[in-house]
Chain A
Amino acid sequence: MQPEQLIVLRRADIKAAIVIIIVSLLMIFESASFPLTDSYAGIQNAWYVSPALFPILIASILLICGVTLLFKGLAFVRAHKEIPVVRASQASRWRFVLLVSLISGMVFSWVPLIDFAISSFTFLFLFILAFYSDSPALQHKVLTIWTSVSLILLVLYQTSALSEGGRNLLDWGALLFAALMVGFFRQWAINLDCFTKWKTSVKTALIVTLVVCPIFRLGMLVPLPTEGIVIEKMVDAKYLIRDMWRGN
């Protein structure tokens, strides 16, 4: 490892060690509130059967390790003050923010609220297009649109209990959004001279959604997180075909 990288690592070690020390102290503090030698649920506790024993033990060792890491990091940084610190590029940071936004938006906002097939398609299309096109302008656009929509969905999910009709309406809205995104980014792709990549993104997102959802829902009988206007119709179609096959 280069000295420039090592100094960055040791500085990060110091920050991590401080977090570890704080967390282990909090853990010990919280564990102290667990029944130690008093009675719980009618049972007289001894220290060696207490639910606090293991967490206190782990947190104490973690605390020692944290302190050791802190001293090691401090000693290294003090001894190598002259080495300059290299920072990650701005573009790389943006890509990181976009990745976290895409994954957390999908999990925290789309999956609990929108039909899984629609969520999957939209997520895959925007995710693939943003990184396959490798255009910072397009990535910024995706970040802004996806984060805004995900935040709206999150607020909606947290603040209101939606009826079935409301959920269906939301699914239709999401489907319209997906179609709009496909159309909107088609123009962008043409302008950026990456129309083939746009086509690949649409195709991959569609094929994966059409393969994965039926395999999990119909093949492995795993219920999908949210089943709305697409998945419900797919399940209905399965039983309709089965009944027709059996001649009912």
Chain B
Amino acid sequence: MDILSSFYVFGGTLASLLSSPINILILVGASFFGIIFGALPGLTATLGVALLTTLTYGMDVNTALIALLGLYVGAIYGGSYPSILINIPGTAAAAATALDGYPLACKGQGGRALGLTTTASLIGTLMGILVLVMAAPWVAKMALQFTSFEFFLLALFGILISGTLTSSDLVIKGWIAGLIGLAIATIGRDPLQFFPRFTFDLPDLDQGLEVVPVLIGAFGIPQVINALRNKESLGAMQDFGRIMPEWSTLFKNRKNITRSSMIGIGIGAVPGIGEDIAGWVSYGAAKNTSKHPETFGSGEPEGIIASETANNACIGGALIPLLTLGIPGSPPAAMLLGALMLHGITPGPMIVVQDPGFLIEVTAILVLCSVAMWFNGMFLAKQVVKVLSIPAPIFLPVVTLMCVLGSYALGLNVFNLYMMVLIGVVAYFLAQMQYPISPLVIGVILGPMADENLRRALMVSEGSLLPFIERPVSILLLLVIALILISKTPLNQKLKDLFFHSFKRLKSK
């Protein structure tokens, strides 16, 4: 399909969708409920798409896609609300946003943080869409270069980078938190041989621990205990300021936005890895390239923009392998695949031949969804930020009840609640000892992937470790991991000193 006819299909789809009031109503409603879903701890984009799929059965394909994509985009963005306002990420994807969003809200700039988040999410989604249209086959081909070797290293990289970035005390504590997460992920039957590991003959542990109760327990419970034990208030309401983002801040961050979008799209395009890791990698890249990295973690807008742009850009990225290869790029995209099949669409290489306009139609729908998300976000931000004026002893017990319901809702298993409390109390003590919690959750999320892919890789190479240093992507990842490790060891300072001394000596000669 040439560019002109693509534009024709794009414009036509937009016009036909916007001419129906029902479509507009569904668009706004789905986006609104998506934001609410993302904002409630425990209710994820995946669950939202799953619940909505059954309701879309009677709709035509385009209307169903409006509802599903509207909810998906809204839910990924909505996770940032509780991250910023109460330091409890609504979804794992918004965990990195809490690092700078919450301190900004504590400074009385919750409105500013939400405004920046909303616009950064819009830009991220639009960038993802742009790449989806322009480079889908190329990105999909690149993403397929990832084999078990790279998946294992990517998981390791994700844990290492979040551990390194979030440690406010010793860096080793971030790594320990990540390792604890990986250790927790080994509980249950192993994915290759189905052998029970650390289950202690408890049938409830056979399936391992679900991510949502771990996420809620690790972030929610410590926050509730800490705030009420120390009689802390929620973020400040004074100097609330405007919600519309300062365009100058966004313009200053143009490089950051572009980089974060590319990271989000790239990570989203790799099958099986989602928005969770994109936010962290992008936050890390922003911190490492910033002129003032020391301000990260204390309310730096750059950090919020980086993580929110990346996790929303991931949506476009995740749709690339989904639509061009039929392989979902993230868990909500996997749910979307099921919904598409329910409507008689089988994504894959043949879709371009069978229905050449489909990709452009999806693009038009995504553009509408992201615009609806922005308007909904701007409207909701003003209302939601008022929760900061509710006294913590009234608001946090309600949050606790939502944590209980959220942990139960996904698996409908009371055992998840027990785990939530246990992990919550352990996470509280870890947080008291200045261990970052995010790497622990990232470890639980990426643990099964790391375990399975390490063993698969070694199975392919019959126990040889050589392929790790023979494959280009693998070498690149190994180098980055080695650089992160070396940069945080005392050896790094010695090497730096040695280098500068030799340089000075050479200069004096």
Listed in ascending order, the chain A residues whose CB lies under 8 Å from chain B are 9, 12-13, 16, 20, 23, 27, 30-31, 34-35, 40-41, 43, 45-51, 53-55, 57-59, 61-62, 65-66, 68-69, 72, 92, 95-96, 99-100, 103-104, 106-108, 111-112, 120, 123-124, 127-128, 131-132, 134, 200-201, 204, 208, 212, 216, 220-225
Contact = CB atoms under 8 A, between A and B. Distances in A.
B391 A132 contact: yes
A132 B455 contact: no
B397 interface: yes
B404 A99 contact: no
Contact of B180 (A31, A46, A62): A62
Contacts of A221: 51
B175 interface: yes
Given A9-B169, A108-B418, A127-B400, A225 B183 contact: no
Contact of B195 (A34, A216, A224): A34
Interface in B361-411: 391-394, 396-398, 400-402, 404-405, 408-409
Contact of B224 (A66, A99, A220): A99
B192 A9 contact: no
Nearest to B48: A220
20 contacts: A12-B433, A13-B170, A23-B183, A46-B462, A49-B193, A51-B193, A55-B198, A59-B183, A65-B172, A65-B175, A92-B230, A96-B225, A96-B229, A99-B225, A104-B421, A111-B408, A123-B401, A124-B401, A208-B401, A222-B405
Nearest to B170: A72
Contacts of A62: 176, 179-180, 183
Contact of A107 (B51, B180, B398, B421): B421
Contacts of A95: 228-229
A212 B179 contact: no
B35 interface: no
A168 B412 CA distance: 22
A222 B398 contact: no
B234 interface: no
Interface of B: 51, 169-170, 172-173, 175-176, 179-180, 182-183, 186, 190, 192-195, 197-198, 221, 224-225, 228-231, 391-394, 396-398, 400-402, 404-405, 408-409, 412, 414, 417-418, 420-421, 424-425, 430, 432-435, 450-451, 454-455, 458-459, 462-463
A41 B194 CA distance: 9
A100 B197 CA distance: 29
B393 A131 contact: yes
Contact of A58 (B170, B186, B462): B186
Contacts of A54: 182, 186, 450-451, 454-455
Contacts of B458: 48-49, 53
Given A54-B450, A65-B175, A66-B176, A107 B401 contact: no
Contacts of A204: 394, 398
Contacts of B176: 20, 62, 65-66, 69
B195 A51 contact: yes
A48 B401 contact: no
Contact of B414 (A65, A128, A225): A225
Contacts of A69: 170, 172-173, 176
Majority secondary structure, A binding face: helix
Given A16-B433, A23-B183, A220-B409, 10 more contacts: A40-B193, A46-B459, A55-B183, A62-B176, A62-B183, A65-B176, A134-B231, A208-B401, A222-B408, A223-B412
Contacts of A212: 401-402, 405
A220 B51 contact: yes
CB-based closest 3 A-B pairs: A48-B458, A131-B393, A127-B397
Nearest to A23: B183
A212 B405 CA distance: 9
A51 B398 contact: no
Nearest to A95: B229
B421 A108 contact: yes
Contacts of A46: 459, 462-463
B441 to A, nearest CB: 16
B195 A132 contact: no
A192 B402 CA distance: 30
A49 B459 contact: yes
A48 B180 contact: no
Contacts of B414: 111-112, 225
A49 B397 contact: no
B394 A41 contact: no
Contacts of B463: 46-48
Contacts of B396: 131
B425 A35 contact: no
B398 A58 contact: no
Contacts of B391: 132
Contact of A9 (B194, B231, B425, B434): B434
Given A40-B193, A65-B179, A107-B420, A124 B228 contact: no
Contacts of B432: 12
Contacts of B229: 92, 95-96, 99
